[in-house]
Amino acid sequence: MDDRQVSEQTAENTTAQTAGQSPGSGPGTLGPQDRIEINEILSFSSHLLDNRQWDMFGEVFVPEIRLSAPQGEFDGPAGVRRFAETAELARFPATHTLNSIVEAVDADTAVAWSRMLLLTWDRRVVCGDYIDTFRRTADGWRIERRTVAPRNDSASVALAEGGYAPDPYAYAMFDEAVLAAAGRARR
């Protein structure tokens, strides 16, 4: 890179930072700092669930969060707590571990697909998928929509030959979430 290119790149980064974006980000892209923040929010949400710190849900979810799961639809941080209680997370210790991929929709919206591995108090292992839509807020990135799709839960044992995929399969759920966050429909 010559001096002129370095100056142009510096000017682009300064413009992006002034506009509230991370360097290297723009419509449909996320900068490294955005990706770090989103992954930290995902990790923090697991810690809050595992530690039953319901009063801190505002640190990871927007007030109008909507959670969809086989148990139903849950709205707001209080709804997320009700979901955790119906899944007995409020009664028994568990450990959530996630690995995630993140897709940018625009400079202020992203969708993450996380494979969730849950180690339960009675030494069971449960896994599933979280599909989260993130929105950039004045307080940083927050989750505005979460879809939970279990994999090897007790309802799926009969389907275990060759493994179980939730219906609709998580790839499709991820694609649909990206399109919905962009305000588009599948063709």
Q: What is the CATH number of the domain that holds 54?
A: 3.10.450.50
Identify which has the larger pLDDT, 53 or 170.
53
The predicted pLDDT at position 19 comes to: 47
Q: Does residue 124 fall inside a structural domain?
A: yes
Beta-carbon contacts of 163 under 8 Å, excluding residues fewer than 6 positions away, are none
pLDDT at 153: 55
Range(s) of the domain holding residue 165: 26-181
Decide which of 178 and 167 is more confident. Answer: 178
Evaluate whether residue 130 is within a structural domain.
yes
Residue 3 lies in a domain: no
Q: Which residue would you say has higher pLDDT here, 56 or 122?
A: 56
Sheet containing 61-69: order of strands: 72-75, 61-69, 140-150, 125-137, 109-120, 94-106
67-86 confidence digits (pLDDT tens): 998 889 999 999 998 888 88
Is residue 98 one of the residues assigned to a domain? Answer: yes
Position 123 pLDDT exceeds 90: no
The answer to whether residue 54 scores a pLDDT higher than 90 is no
Query: For residue 13, is pLDDT > 60?
Result: no
Higher-confidence position of 56 and 120:
56
Work out the number of other CB atoms within 10 angstroms of the CB of residue 9: 13
85-103: pLDDT as tens digits: 887 655 566 778 888 999 9
34 Cβ neighbours under 8 A, 6+ residues apart: 22, 25, 104, 110, 136, 141
Q: How confident is the model at residue 1 (pLDDT cuts 50, 70, 90)?
A: very low
- Strands 61-69 and 140-150: what pairing? parallel
187 domain residue, yes or no: no
Task: Indicate whether 121 pLDDT > 80.
Answer: no
Q: Is 76 a member of any domain?
A: yes
| Number of domains into which the chain is organized | 1
Mean pLDDT of the chain: 77
Decide: pTM greater than 0.85.
no
Q: 174 in a domain, yes or no?
A: yes
Domain assignment present for 94: yes
One-letter amino acid for residue 150 of the chain: P
CA-based nearest residue to 116, from 134, 104, 128: 128
Token duo for residue 39: 């992954």
Residue 168 has pLDDT above 60, yes or no: no
